[in-house]
Amino acid sequence: MHPSDSRYTKLRWLLTVSSLILYVVDIGTDVALALRYIRDQRLLRAALTLTFVLCGLVVTQFFSLAWYRDDMNNVLLNPEGEAAAWGMSTAGLVGLHLFGTGIFARYFHLLKSGYREVWCGNSEEAQREAHRLLGLETDLSMLKLFEAFLESVPQLLLQLYVRLEYDDGSVMQCMSMAFSFFNIAWSLVDYQRCLRRSLPSAREMRSGTPTVVYAAYKLCTITSLVLSYGVLLTLSEYTTVGLALVWLLGVVWANLLQTSFCSSRIQEALYRAVVGVILTFTFFNVKGQGTKVAMSVYYAFFSLVNAAAPLLLWLLRPETAAAAYFWPVTCAIVGGAALGLVCLVVYYALLHPRGQWREADELDGLGEEPETQVRIELFLMP
C-alpha cells in the first residue's frame, strides 16, 4: 500500500462526519415513515418497515461486537493482551451493542482519533495511530455495506412496491426512498475505496471520473433490479418465494467457496447469509479468485430478469400499459441495466486503478501479498 493511501486526511474526516449524518437520517426517515403507517392504520407496512430497520441494526451490532472481541484477542492488534478496547471492558462493549449504539461508538472513536491526527500534527503517537484508524475506517465501511443491503435496499424495494401496487405515497415515503438510495450509493463507493486502500501494493480508487463511473455501474444495475423485483411483486406476491430462492443460491455459493471471514462457525454462517442478501441485488466478490466468468453469468441471468419483468407485466396485466408509471418504469429498468453494464465495462477496461502486481477486485484474482492486520482483506482471502 502506498504511504499516501494510509494517511487519514481532513477530507476523509469530513466524509466520515457526512457518513454518520447520512446513517442517522436514513434510519430516522424509515422510522418516521413506519410511525406514519401506524397512524394511518397500515400496520403490515409499518411492521415490514420496522423489521428491515431492526434487521440491519441487529446484524451490524452483532458483527461490530464480534470484531471488537476478535481485535482484543489478536496478538498483533493487542500485543499486551489488554482486556479492554478503546478503554471499554467486554461488559461495556456488550452493553453498548445491546442498546444499538455500537456503530455510534465506532464513529466516535474514529472521529476523535482522526481529529487528533489531522488537526494536531504528525506526532509520534499520531503516526502509530494511522494503521489503527485504517482498521476502524474499513470496519465501518463493511458494517455500512451490511446495513445498506439488509435495511436500505429492502426498504427501497418495499416502498417501491407500495407505490406501484397501491399508487399510495407521501412526502415521507419519498424521503425514505431517497435517503435509502443515497445510503446505498455511499456505502458501495466507500466500501470499494476502503477495500483498495487496505490491500497492500494496491492503488487507491481515484476521485472524479473513476468513482463516478463505478458508482453509476453499481447504482444503475441495482436500481434496475430493484424495479424489476417491484414489478414482479405487483404481479404476484409469490415473487417473494423466488427472491428467497435467489438468496438461497447466494448462500449455497458462499458455502461452496468455503469463505473464511469470521472467527467462529456462527459468525461465518451469518456472514454467508448476508452475502446471499447482497448477491440478490448485486454481484459481490465473495473471495479473491478471478470472477470474470461468475460475473458474466450473474449479469446475464439478471438481464433476463430485467427483460422479463416489464414484458410479463404487459402480457399478464395489459391494462397497466395505459398506467402513468408503465413506460417510465420500463425505460428505467431497461435503460438503467444497459447504462450500468456499459459503466461496468468502461470502469474495468479504462478506469480500474491497476497496480504493479495483480490486485484482488471484483474482476481480478488475488496476488501474492504480505500478511497485514486489516480485517477487510479477509473478504478476499483464497
> Domain spans of the chain?
1-198, 199-382
Nearest in space to 93 (alpha carbons), one of 71, 113, 112, 75: 71
Whether 27 shows a pLDDT value over 60: the answer reads yes
Q: DSSP labels for 75-100?
A: TTT-TT--SEETTEEHHHHHHHHHTT
**Confidence at residue 382, expressed as pLDDT on a 0 to 100 scale:** 29
Per-residue pLDDT band at 199 (split at 50, 70, 90) = low
Q: DSSP labels for 202-247?
A: PPPPPTTHHHHHHHHHHHHHHHHHHHHHHHHHHH-TTHHHHHHHHH
What are phi and psi for residue 85, nearest 5 degrees?
-120, 120
Per-residue pLDDT band at 132 (split at 50, 70, 90) = confident
Contact (CB, 8 A) for 280 and 247: yes
Cell numbers that stand for 315 in this block = 402480457
* 266-286 average pLDDT score: 91
377 contact partners, CB below 8 Å, separation of at least 6: 198, 199
- Better pLDDT: 39 or 70: 39
Per-residue pLDDT band at 83 (split at 50, 70, 90) = low
47 contact partners, CB below 8 Å, separation of at least 6: none
pLDDT tens digits for 85-99? 666 777 888 888 999
26 contact partners, CB below 8 Å, separation of at least 6: 151, 152, 179, 180, 182, 183
* 322-345 average pLDDT score: 90
For residue 323, count other CB atoms closer than 10 A to its CB.
14
Mean pLDDT of the chain: 82
Whether 147 shows a pLDDT value over 60: the answer reads yes
